[in-house]
Amino acid sequence: MKTKTQICIIDDEKHGRDYIALLVKKEFPDFEIIFQASNIEDSYKNLLKNIPDIIFLDIQLRENTAFDLLSNFKELPSQIIFVTAYENFAIQAIRNGVTDYLLKPIKKIDFIVAVNKALENIKKVQPAQINPLQDHKVILSTLQGFKIINIADIVRCEADSSYTTFYLTNKTKIMVSKTLHEFELVLPDLNFFRIHHKHLINLDHLQEYVKGRGGQVVMSDGSVLDVSFRRKNDFLHKIGNTD
């Protein structure tokens, strides 16, 4: 499992690559530079093998431009920070959805701001993480570190603004600073269903459904939760009851 933020540096000038690498080493020592490249061909080959979290990309790459490189990909999930001596590409960069646009010579404070912006964007789109090395478990990051939880032990998840609280079979609760939507992207295929904007339930712990406009469910921990009216039909279809 990847534990470090991975970056790459693409610049046709060696001193440009070296300066960014030096800034990274000083200001973000936990980052891992997975490759450096000076032309489109090498960059493309490396990006096919491994997509970094952040790409530092010079616009003018010998006889080509960064846009020639980006056109080879339908979509790159990386945060892209342009580093260039040219101001006239800014509008085109914005249209390509870049994270930031730094002019050479790079000021350290501008570099730090751009990287932190990229990290915030990564955090926003990063889904809840399930450890592929441990089947049927989920890793929940907490203020103290992280906990590895058996998915079968999750009774339900409850949204509270940008936080999610996990209710477990042993009656304990774990609050995580991720939205319920992020977990919804991961858990539904594992027999979870979002019955309400606040509630994502484990159907294995569903004990009873009480009819009503939306209705209510009773869970194995004794909790009684509302079912949203607009989710009612999908919920009943999911559990095989269309009456």
Per-residue model confidence as pLDDT tens digits over 145-154: 788 888 999 9
Domain end marker among 100, 125, 150 = 125
C-alpha–C-alpha distance, residues 57 and 79, integer Å:
10
Task: Kindly state whether residue 79 falls inside one of the protein's structural domains.
Answer: yes
Q: Within this chain, do residues 186 and 211 fall inside the same structural domain, yes or no?
A: yes
Task: Kindly state whether residue 131 falls inside one of the protein's structural domains.
Answer: no
Give me the CATH number covering residue 75. 3.40.50.2300
Per-residue model confidence as pLDDT tens digits over 184-240: 877 866 689 999 999 999 999 999 999 999 999 999 999 999 999 989 998 998 888
Domain of residue 216, residue span: 137-238
pLDDT in tens, the chain (243 residues): 456 899 999 999 999 999 999 999 999 999 999 999 999 999 999 998 888 999 999 998 988 888 899 888 877 889 999 998 877 777 777 776 788 999 999 999 999 999 999 998 887 766 555 444 355 888 888 777 788 888 999 999 999 877 899 999 999 999 988 888 888 877 866 689 999 999 999 999 999 999 999 999 999 999 999 999 989 998 998 888 655
Q: How many domains does the chain have?
A: 2
Residue 140: in which H helix or E strand, if any? strand 137-142
pTM recorded for the entire structure: 0.54
Q: For 145, left (φ over 0), alpha (ψ -120 to 50), or beta?
A: left
Q: Look up residue 167 and give its DSSP letter.
A: E
Task: Kindly state whether residue 132 falls inside one of the protein's structural domains.
Answer: no
Task: Kindly state whether residue 243 falls inside one of the protein's structural domains.
Answer: no
Strands 154-160 and 163-168: antiparallel
Q: Within this chain, do residues 72 and 178 fall inside the same structural domain, yes or no?
A: no
Task: Kindly state whether residue 143 falls inside one of the protein's structural domains.
Answer: yes
Domain end marker among 125, 150, 173 = 125
Q: Within this chain, do residues 86 and 182 fall inside the same structural domain, yes or no?
A: no
